[in-house]
Chains A and B, each alone.
Chain A
Amino acid sequence: SQTIHQWPATLVQPVGSPLSLECTVEGTSNPNLYWYRQAAGRGLQLLFYSVGIGQISSEVPQNLSASRPQDRQFILSSKKLLLSDSGFYLCAWMRYGQGIYEQYFGPGTRLTVT
Chain B
Amino acid sequence: GEEVAQTPKHLVRGEGQKAKLYCAPIKGHSYVFWYQQVLKNEFKFLISFQNENVFDETGMPKERFSAKCLPNSPCSLEIQATKLEDSAVYFCASSYDRGQPQHFGDGTRLSIL
Q: Do A and B assemble together?
A: no
Interface residues in chain B, defined as those with a beta carbon under 8 Å from any beta carbon in chain A: none
